[in-house]
Structure 1
Amino acid sequence: MAGPSPAPTARRLEGRVVIATHNPGKLREMRDLLGPFGVDAVSAGELGLPEPEETGTTFAENAAIKARAATVSGWPALADDSGICVDALDGAPGIFSARWGGPAKDFAAAMARIDAELSRRGIGRDRARTGHFVSALVVAWPDGEDALFEGRVFGDLVWPPRGGQGFGYDPMFRPEGLAQTFGELSAEAKHGIDWTKAAAGGEPPALSHRARAFVSLARSCLGL
Protein backbone atom coordinates (compact mmCIF):
# COMPACT_ATOMS: atom_id res chain seq x y z
CA MET A 1 0.00 0.00 0.00
CA ALA A 2 1.08 3.59 -0.51
CA GLY A 3 2.21 5.18 2.71
CA PRO A 4 1.10 8.57 3.97
CA SER A 5 3.01 11.64 2.89
CA PRO A 6 5.84 12.40 5.33
CA ALA A 7 5.78 16.07 4.32
CA PRO A 8 3.55 18.25 6.53
CA THR A 9 0.68 19.95 4.75
CA ALA A 10 -0.60 23.48 5.20
CA ARG A 11 -4.18 22.30 4.79
CA ARG A 12 -6.32 23.45 7.69
CA LEU A 13 -7.99 20.98 10.01
CA GLU A 14 -11.15 22.50 11.45
CA GLY A 15 -14.76 21.80 12.35
CA ARG A 16 -15.33 18.14 13.15
CA VAL A 17 -12.69 15.43 13.01
CA VAL A 18 -13.10 11.71 13.57
CA ILE A 19 -10.55 10.18 15.92
CA ALA A 20 -9.98 6.77 14.37
CA THR A 21 -9.91 4.76 17.58
CA HIS A 22 -12.02 2.55 19.83
CA ASN A 23 -9.57 3.06 22.71
CA PRO A 24 -11.08 5.39 25.36
CA GLY A 25 -7.67 6.30 26.77
CA LYS A 26 -6.33 7.34 23.39
CA LEU A 27 -9.55 9.25 22.61
CA ARG A 28 -9.26 11.14 25.90
CA GLU A 29 -5.69 12.20 25.13
CA MET A 30 -6.57 13.30 21.59
CA ARG A 31 -9.53 15.36 22.83
CA ASP A 32 -7.24 17.03 25.38
CA LEU A 33 -4.76 17.89 22.64
CA LEU A 34 -7.36 19.18 20.17
CA GLY A 35 -9.34 21.14 22.79
CA PRO A 36 -7.35 24.42 22.61
CA PHE A 37 -8.03 24.64 18.85
CA GLY A 38 -11.82 24.39 19.01
CA VAL A 39 -11.96 21.19 16.97
CA ASP A 40 -14.98 18.95 17.62
CA ALA A 41 -13.68 15.39 18.04
CA VAL A 42 -15.84 12.27 17.75
CA SER A 43 -14.44 8.75 17.79
CA ALA A 44 -14.83 5.99 15.25
CA GLY A 45 -16.20 3.89 18.09
CA GLU A 46 -18.90 6.45 18.88
CA LEU A 47 -19.91 6.47 15.20
CA GLY A 48 -20.08 2.68 15.12
CA LEU A 49 -17.35 2.42 12.49
CA PRO A 50 -15.57 -0.94 12.31
CA GLU A 51 -11.90 -1.29 13.15
CA PRO A 52 -9.95 -1.98 9.93
CA GLU A 53 -7.37 -4.73 9.77
CA GLU A 54 -3.94 -3.25 10.41
CA THR A 55 -1.82 -4.85 7.72
CA GLY A 56 0.98 -2.29 7.60
CA THR A 57 4.58 -3.00 8.53
CA THR A 58 5.21 0.39 10.21
CA PHE A 59 3.40 2.66 12.64
CA ALA A 60 2.88 5.17 9.82
CA GLU A 61 1.26 2.64 7.51
CA ASN A 62 -1.11 1.39 10.19
CA ALA A 63 -2.08 4.92 11.20
CA ALA A 64 -2.87 5.67 7.55
CA ILE A 65 -5.04 2.55 7.26
CA LYS A 66 -7.09 3.63 10.27
CA ALA A 67 -7.39 7.28 9.23
CA ARG A 68 -8.40 6.50 5.66
CA ALA A 69 -11.00 3.98 6.84
CA ALA A 70 -12.59 6.57 9.14
CA THR A 71 -13.07 9.12 6.35
CA VAL A 72 -16.09 7.07 5.26
CA SER A 73 -17.87 9.32 7.77
CA GLY A 74 -17.42 12.24 5.38
CA TRP A 75 -15.26 14.18 7.83
CA PRO A 76 -11.47 14.40 8.10
CA ALA A 77 -10.01 11.69 10.29
CA LEU A 78 -7.06 11.61 12.66
CA ALA A 79 -5.45 8.31 13.58
CA ASP A 80 -2.63 7.44 15.92
CA ASP A 81 -0.64 4.25 15.74
CA SER A 82 1.77 3.94 18.59
CA GLY A 83 3.64 1.43 20.64
CA ILE A 84 6.66 0.62 22.69
CA CYS A 85 9.94 -0.60 21.21
CA VAL A 86 12.31 -2.41 23.58
CA ASP A 87 15.95 -2.33 22.58
CA ALA A 88 16.91 -5.74 23.97
CA LEU A 89 13.90 -7.31 22.22
CA ASP A 90 15.04 -6.04 18.82
CA GLY A 91 12.35 -3.37 18.84
CA ALA A 92 9.48 -5.65 19.87
CA PRO A 93 6.62 -5.43 20.54
CA GLY A 94 6.63 -2.39 18.22
CA ILE A 95 3.63 -2.32 15.87
CA PHE A 96 2.30 -5.41 17.68
CA SER A 97 2.16 -3.61 21.05
CA ALA A 98 -1.62 -3.91 21.42
CA ARG A 99 -1.60 -7.51 20.21
CA TRP A 100 0.82 -8.54 22.95
CA GLY A 101 -2.13 -8.06 25.29
CA GLY A 102 -4.12 -10.77 23.49
CA PRO A 103 -7.73 -10.52 22.26
CA ALA A 104 -8.76 -8.78 25.50
CA LYS A 105 -5.92 -6.23 25.13
CA ASP A 106 -4.78 -7.03 28.65
CA PHE A 107 -1.81 -4.71 29.10
CA ALA A 108 -0.97 -6.12 32.51
CA ALA A 109 -0.33 -9.41 30.72
CA ALA A 110 1.55 -7.59 27.95
CA MET A 111 3.85 -5.88 30.44
CA ALA A 112 4.46 -9.19 32.18
CA ARG A 113 5.35 -10.69 28.83
CA ILE A 114 7.96 -8.00 28.21
CA ASP A 115 9.45 -8.63 31.65
CA ALA A 116 9.53 -12.38 31.01
CA GLU A 117 11.07 -12.00 27.54
CA LEU A 118 13.79 -9.72 28.88
CA SER A 119 14.57 -12.12 31.71
CA ARG A 120 14.70 -15.01 29.26
CA ARG A 121 17.35 -13.10 27.31
CA GLY A 122 19.38 -12.51 30.44
CA ILE A 123 18.31 -8.87 30.91
CA GLY A 124 17.26 -9.14 34.55
CA ARG A 125 15.46 -6.51 36.56
CA ASP A 126 18.79 -5.28 37.92
CA ARG A 127 19.96 -4.45 34.37
CA ALA A 128 19.24 -1.38 32.25
CA ARG A 129 16.16 -2.06 30.11
CA THR A 130 15.95 0.73 27.58
CA GLY A 131 13.29 1.46 25.02
CA HIS A 132 11.15 4.15 23.48
CA PHE A 133 7.58 4.98 22.59
CA VAL A 134 6.66 5.93 19.02
CA SER A 135 3.55 7.76 17.84
CA ALA A 136 2.60 8.19 14.19
CA LEU A 137 -0.30 10.58 13.60
CA VAL A 138 -1.99 10.63 10.20
CA VAL A 139 -4.60 13.17 9.16
CA ALA A 140 -6.70 12.01 6.22
CA TRP A 141 -9.29 14.01 4.31
CA PRO A 142 -12.22 12.42 2.45
CA ASP A 143 -10.78 13.52 -0.90
CA GLY A 144 -7.72 11.27 -0.41
CA GLU A 145 -5.13 13.75 0.84
CA ASP A 146 -3.25 12.84 4.00
CA ALA A 147 -0.22 13.84 6.04
CA LEU A 148 2.04 12.12 8.57
CA PHE A 149 3.52 13.47 11.82
CA GLU A 150 5.73 11.43 14.18
CA GLY A 151 7.05 11.71 17.72
CA ARG A 152 9.27 9.64 20.02
CA VAL A 153 10.25 9.59 23.69
CA PHE A 154 13.11 7.53 25.11
CA GLY A 155 13.50 6.00 28.55
CA ASP A 156 13.72 2.73 30.41
CA LEU A 157 11.41 0.03 31.70
CA VAL A 158 10.74 -0.64 35.36
CA TRP A 159 9.36 -3.64 37.22
CA PRO A 160 6.93 -3.89 38.84
CA PRO A 161 4.78 -1.41 36.90
CA ARG A 162 3.92 1.73 38.85
CA GLY A 163 0.91 4.05 38.79
CA GLY A 164 -2.67 3.95 37.64
CA GLN A 165 -2.64 6.95 35.30
CA GLY A 166 -2.52 6.70 31.52
CA PHE A 167 -3.07 3.41 29.72
CA GLY A 168 -1.27 0.65 27.88
CA TYR A 169 2.39 0.28 28.83
CA ASP A 170 2.53 3.60 30.71
CA PRO A 171 3.04 2.05 34.18
CA MET A 172 6.31 0.38 33.17
CA PHE A 173 7.85 3.20 31.12
CA ARG A 174 10.02 5.84 32.80
CA PRO A 175 11.02 8.67 30.46
CA GLU A 176 14.59 9.93 30.45
CA GLY A 177 15.33 12.42 33.21
CA LEU A 178 12.34 11.55 35.40
CA ALA A 179 11.91 9.25 38.40
CA GLN A 180 8.21 8.69 37.70
CA THR A 181 6.68 6.39 35.13
CA PHE A 182 4.07 7.57 32.66
CA GLY A 183 1.60 5.71 34.86
CA GLU A 184 2.48 7.95 37.81
CA LEU A 185 2.28 11.25 35.93
CA SER A 186 -0.84 13.35 35.62
CA ALA A 187 -2.37 13.79 32.18
CA GLU A 188 -1.08 17.37 32.10
CA ALA A 189 2.46 16.33 32.99
CA LYS A 190 2.45 13.52 30.44
CA HIS A 191 0.95 15.15 27.36
CA GLY A 192 0.53 18.80 28.28
CA ILE A 193 2.20 21.12 25.79
CA ASP A 194 4.12 24.32 26.47
CA TRP A 195 2.47 26.27 23.67
CA THR A 196 4.81 29.24 24.04
CA LYS A 197 7.79 26.99 23.45
CA ALA A 198 5.95 25.13 20.68
CA ALA A 199 5.05 28.35 18.84
CA ALA A 200 8.66 29.54 19.11
CA GLY A 201 9.97 26.29 17.70
CA GLY A 202 11.54 25.20 20.96
CA GLU A 203 12.19 21.49 21.42
CA PRO A 204 10.84 19.53 23.07
CA PRO A 205 7.67 21.43 24.04
CA ALA A 206 6.02 18.26 25.38
CA LEU A 207 6.99 15.03 27.11
CA SER A 208 4.98 12.25 25.51
CA HIS A 209 5.50 10.80 22.05
CA ARG A 210 1.88 11.54 21.07
CA ALA A 211 2.08 15.16 22.24
CA ARG A 212 5.35 15.68 20.35
CA ALA A 213 3.78 14.33 17.16
CA PHE A 214 0.76 16.54 17.79
CA VAL A 215 2.92 19.68 18.02
CA SER A 216 4.14 19.01 14.46
CA LEU A 217 0.53 18.50 13.36
CA ALA A 218 -0.59 21.72 15.06
CA ARG A 219 2.16 23.74 13.40
CA SER A 220 1.04 22.46 10.02
CA CYS A 221 -2.73 22.00 10.22
CA LEU A 222 -4.04 24.01 13.18
CA GLY A 223 -2.46 27.41 12.69
CA LEU A 224 0.08 27.21 15.53
Structure 2
Amino acid sequence: MGHLDGKVAIITGAARGMGATHTRRFVKEGAKVVFTDILEKEGQALADELGNNALFIKHDVTNEEDWIEVVQKTEDIFGPVSVLVNNAGIDLPEVNLEDVPIATYEKVIAVNQNSVFLGMKSVTSSMKKAGGGSIVNISSLAGIIGAYKKIAYTASKFAVRGMTKAAALELGVYKIRVNSVHPGFIKTDMTKHLISPELEQAFPLRKAGEPEEVTNLVLYLASDESSYSTGSEFIIDGGLGAQ
Protein backbone atom coordinates (compact mmCIF):
# COMPACT_ATOMS: atom_id res chain seq x y z
CA MET A 1 0.00 0.00 0.00
CA GLY A 2 1.10 3.55 -0.73
CA HIS A 3 0.99 6.51 1.62
CA LEU A 4 -1.46 8.30 -0.69
CA ASP A 5 -3.77 5.51 -1.78
CA GLY A 6 -7.18 6.96 -2.63
CA LYS A 7 -5.95 10.56 -2.70
CA VAL A 8 -6.58 12.96 -5.59
CA ALA A 9 -3.91 15.65 -5.79
CA ILE A 10 -3.21 18.86 -7.68
CA ILE A 11 0.42 20.00 -7.83
CA THR A 12 1.37 23.30 -9.48
CA GLY A 13 4.66 24.29 -11.07
CA ALA A 14 5.30 20.59 -11.61
CA ALA A 15 6.73 20.18 -15.11
CA ARG A 16 10.28 20.16 -13.71
CA GLY A 17 12.29 20.69 -10.54
CA MET A 18 10.81 19.98 -7.14
CA GLY A 19 7.29 19.91 -8.54
CA ALA A 20 8.15 17.09 -10.92
CA THR A 21 9.83 15.20 -8.08
CA HIS A 22 6.69 15.60 -5.95
CA THR A 23 4.52 14.41 -8.83
CA ARG A 24 6.54 11.25 -9.49
CA ARG A 25 6.52 10.34 -5.80
CA PHE A 26 2.82 11.02 -5.35
CA VAL A 27 1.94 8.71 -8.25
CA LYS A 28 4.28 6.05 -6.85
CA GLU A 29 2.54 6.35 -3.46
CA GLY A 30 -0.89 5.69 -4.97
CA ALA A 31 -2.32 9.14 -5.67
CA LYS A 32 -4.07 10.24 -8.82
CA VAL A 33 -2.34 13.48 -9.74
CA VAL A 34 -3.22 16.47 -11.87
CA PHE A 35 -0.06 18.50 -12.25
CA THR A 36 0.14 21.89 -13.88
CA ASP A 37 2.63 24.34 -15.33
CA ILE A 38 3.07 26.85 -18.13
CA LEU A 39 5.83 24.64 -19.57
CA GLU A 40 3.70 22.54 -21.89
CA LYS A 41 6.39 20.44 -23.58
CA GLU A 42 8.05 19.37 -20.34
CA GLY A 43 4.71 18.78 -18.66
CA GLN A 44 3.39 16.52 -21.39
CA ALA A 45 6.63 14.53 -21.43
CA LEU A 46 6.27 13.88 -17.69
CA ALA A 47 2.62 12.87 -18.14
CA ASP A 48 3.64 10.38 -20.84
CA GLU A 49 6.22 8.94 -18.44
CA LEU A 50 3.79 8.53 -15.54
CA GLY A 51 0.81 6.94 -17.26
CA ASN A 52 -2.90 6.95 -16.54
CA ASN A 53 -2.72 8.13 -12.93
CA ALA A 54 -1.22 11.48 -13.91
CA LEU A 55 -2.69 14.25 -16.04
CA PHE A 56 -0.91 17.41 -17.16
CA ILE A 57 -2.82 20.67 -17.66
CA LYS A 58 -1.27 23.90 -18.91
CA HIS A 59 -2.13 26.42 -16.23
CA ASP A 60 -1.48 30.07 -15.44
CA VAL A 61 -1.58 30.00 -11.65
CA THR A 62 -2.25 33.75 -11.50
CA ASN A 63 -5.53 33.35 -13.42
CA GLU A 64 -8.65 32.48 -11.42
CA GLU A 65 -10.52 31.09 -14.43
CA ASP A 66 -7.63 28.70 -15.07
CA TRP A 67 -7.86 27.51 -11.48
CA ILE A 68 -11.60 26.87 -11.78
CA GLU A 69 -10.98 24.83 -14.93
CA VAL A 70 -8.18 22.78 -13.34
CA VAL A 71 -10.31 21.85 -10.33
CA GLN A 72 -13.29 20.98 -12.53
CA LYS A 73 -11.19 18.76 -14.81
CA THR A 74 -9.68 17.05 -11.79
CA GLU A 75 -13.11 16.26 -10.39
CA ASP A 76 -14.41 15.08 -13.78
CA ILE A 77 -11.50 12.68 -14.34
CA PHE A 78 -10.36 11.57 -10.86
CA GLY A 79 -12.93 12.84 -8.37
CA PRO A 80 -12.93 15.52 -5.61
CA VAL A 81 -9.56 16.99 -4.67
CA SER A 82 -8.06 15.79 -1.39
CA VAL A 83 -4.54 17.25 -1.71
CA LEU A 84 -3.24 20.55 -3.10
CA VAL A 85 0.45 21.37 -3.31
CA ASN A 86 0.93 25.04 -4.18
CA ASN A 87 4.44 24.65 -5.56
CA ALA A 88 4.60 27.18 -8.43
CA GLY A 89 6.98 30.06 -7.86
CA ILE A 90 9.56 32.37 -9.37
CA ASP A 91 12.68 34.11 -8.15
CA LEU A 92 14.73 37.00 -9.51
CA PRO A 93 18.39 38.03 -9.17
CA GLU A 94 19.45 40.21 -6.27
CA VAL A 95 18.57 43.88 -6.78
CA ASN A 96 18.76 46.95 -4.57
CA LEU A 97 15.45 47.91 -2.97
CA GLU A 98 15.46 51.37 -4.56
CA ASP A 99 15.90 49.86 -8.03
CA VAL A 100 13.02 47.37 -7.96
CA PRO A 101 10.38 48.31 -10.58
CA ILE A 102 6.82 48.05 -9.32
CA ALA A 103 5.94 45.80 -12.27
CA THR A 104 8.66 43.35 -11.23
CA TYR A 105 7.50 43.39 -7.63
CA GLU A 106 3.89 42.77 -8.67
CA LYS A 107 4.88 39.87 -10.96
CA VAL A 108 6.61 38.05 -8.12
CA ILE A 109 3.67 38.68 -5.82
CA ALA A 110 1.23 37.42 -8.46
CA VAL A 111 3.04 34.12 -9.02
CA ASN A 112 4.29 33.37 -5.51
CA GLN A 113 1.50 34.81 -3.36
CA ASN A 114 -1.69 35.38 -5.33
CA SER A 115 -1.52 31.89 -6.84
CA VAL A 116 -1.53 30.35 -3.36
CA PHE A 117 -4.62 32.35 -2.43
CA LEU A 118 -6.36 31.35 -5.67
CA GLY A 119 -5.40 27.71 -5.21
CA MET A 120 -6.73 27.50 -1.67
CA LYS A 121 -9.89 29.36 -2.64
CA SER A 122 -10.51 27.15 -5.67
CA VAL A 123 -10.08 23.75 -4.00
CA THR A 124 -11.99 24.39 -0.79
CA SER A 125 -15.38 23.38 -2.18
CA SER A 126 -13.91 20.24 -3.75
CA MET A 127 -12.17 19.26 -0.52
CA LYS A 128 -15.43 19.66 1.36
CA LYS A 129 -16.95 17.15 -1.07
CA ALA A 130 -14.03 14.81 -0.37
CA GLY A 131 -14.70 15.03 3.37
CA GLY A 132 -11.46 16.86 4.09
CA GLY A 133 -7.99 17.27 2.69
CA SER A 134 -4.50 18.66 2.98
CA ILE A 135 -3.13 21.87 1.46
CA VAL A 136 0.66 22.16 1.35
CA ASN A 137 1.93 25.63 0.51
CA ILE A 138 5.57 25.82 -0.57
CA SER A 139 7.09 28.93 0.96
CA SER A 140 10.84 29.33 1.61
CA LEU A 141 13.37 29.97 4.32
CA ALA A 142 12.88 33.53 3.03
CA GLY A 143 9.43 33.32 4.61
CA ILE A 144 11.10 32.87 8.00
CA ILE A 145 14.20 35.09 8.02
CA GLY A 146 14.14 37.07 4.77
CA ALA A 147 16.52 37.12 1.82
CA TYR A 148 19.18 39.71 0.97
CA LYS A 149 18.19 42.12 -1.81
CA LYS A 150 15.07 40.10 -2.58
CA ILE A 151 12.30 42.31 -1.27
CA ALA A 152 9.53 40.93 -3.51
CA TYR A 153 10.48 37.29 -3.01
CA THR A 154 10.68 37.75 0.76
CA ALA A 155 7.35 39.57 0.87
CA SER A 156 5.64 36.83 -1.12
CA LYS A 157 7.05 34.00 0.96
CA PHE A 158 6.18 35.64 4.29
CA ALA A 159 2.66 36.13 2.90
CA VAL A 160 2.37 32.43 2.09
CA ARG A 161 3.29 31.61 5.67
CA GLY A 162 0.64 33.99 7.01
CA MET A 163 -2.10 32.93 4.60
CA THR A 164 -1.43 29.33 5.56
CA LYS A 165 -2.19 30.08 9.20
CA ALA A 166 -5.34 32.09 8.40
CA ALA A 167 -6.67 29.36 6.12
CA ALA A 168 -5.90 26.65 8.68
CA LEU A 169 -7.96 28.47 11.31
CA GLU A 170 -10.92 28.75 8.95
CA LEU A 171 -10.83 25.35 7.26
CA GLY A 172 -10.10 23.07 10.19
CA VAL A 173 -13.80 22.59 10.89
CA TYR A 174 -14.07 20.95 7.45
CA LYS A 175 -11.15 18.61 8.22
CA ILE A 176 -8.97 20.52 5.76
CA ARG A 177 -5.42 20.94 7.01
CA VAL A 178 -3.12 23.71 5.75
CA ASN A 179 0.64 23.81 6.32
CA SER A 180 3.61 25.57 4.79
CA VAL A 181 6.99 24.14 3.80
CA HIS A 182 10.09 26.33 3.95
CA PRO A 183 13.04 24.97 1.95
CA GLY A 184 16.49 26.46 2.12
CA PHE A 185 19.00 25.90 -0.68
CA ILE A 186 17.72 22.96 -2.74
CA LYS A 187 19.45 21.79 -5.92
CA THR A 188 17.01 22.74 -8.70
CA ASP A 189 17.22 24.59 -12.00
CA MET A 190 16.15 27.75 -10.16
CA THR A 191 18.94 27.65 -7.58
CA LYS A 192 21.84 25.60 -8.95
CA HIS A 193 23.68 28.71 -10.16
CA LEU A 194 23.76 29.97 -6.55
CA ILE A 195 25.18 26.82 -4.98
CA SER A 196 28.93 26.21 -4.79
CA PRO A 197 31.06 23.81 -2.72
CA GLU A 198 32.28 26.80 -0.71
CA LEU A 199 28.72 27.87 0.06
CA GLU A 200 27.74 24.34 1.07
CA GLN A 201 30.52 24.25 3.63
CA ALA A 202 28.82 27.17 5.39
CA PHE A 203 25.70 25.05 6.04
CA PRO A 204 25.51 23.09 9.31
CA LEU A 205 24.98 19.85 7.35
CA ARG A 206 27.67 20.86 4.82
CA LYS A 207 25.39 20.29 1.84
CA ALA A 208 22.56 21.77 -0.15
CA GLY A 209 19.31 19.83 -0.15
CA GLU A 210 18.06 17.43 -2.78
CA PRO A 211 14.53 17.74 -4.22
CA GLU A 212 13.72 14.25 -2.94
CA GLU A 213 14.37 15.40 0.62
CA VAL A 214 11.72 18.11 0.27
CA THR A 215 9.36 15.60 -1.34
CA ASN A 216 9.63 13.38 1.74
CA LEU A 217 8.30 16.24 3.86
CA VAL A 218 5.58 17.22 1.37
CA LEU A 219 4.48 13.59 1.20
CA TYR A 220 4.18 13.44 4.98
CA LEU A 221 2.02 16.56 5.07
CA ALA A 222 -0.16 15.34 2.19
CA SER A 223 -0.72 11.97 3.85
CA ASP A 224 -2.91 11.02 6.80
CA GLU A 225 0.24 10.49 8.85
CA SER A 226 0.24 14.24 9.58
CA SER A 227 -3.42 14.21 10.62
CA TYR A 228 -2.90 16.48 13.65
CA SER A 229 -0.68 19.07 11.95
CA THR A 230 -2.24 22.26 10.64
CA GLY A 231 -1.36 25.94 10.55
CA SER A 232 2.32 25.17 10.99
CA GLU A 233 5.54 25.93 9.15
CA PHE A 234 7.90 23.06 8.41
CA ILE A 235 11.48 24.15 7.77
CA ILE A 236 13.80 22.03 5.65
CA ASP A 237 17.03 24.01 5.29
CA GLY A 238 19.91 21.87 6.57
CA GLY A 239 20.12 24.08 9.65
CA LEU A 240 20.85 27.29 7.72
CA GLY A 241 18.21 29.28 9.55
CA ALA A 242 19.54 28.21 12.94
CA GLN A 243 22.68 30.29 12.52
- Please identify which structure carries the higher helix content: 2
Which is strand-richer, 1 or 2? 1
Structure 2 length as normaliser, TM-score?
0.37
Report the TM-score when normalising by structure 1: 0.39
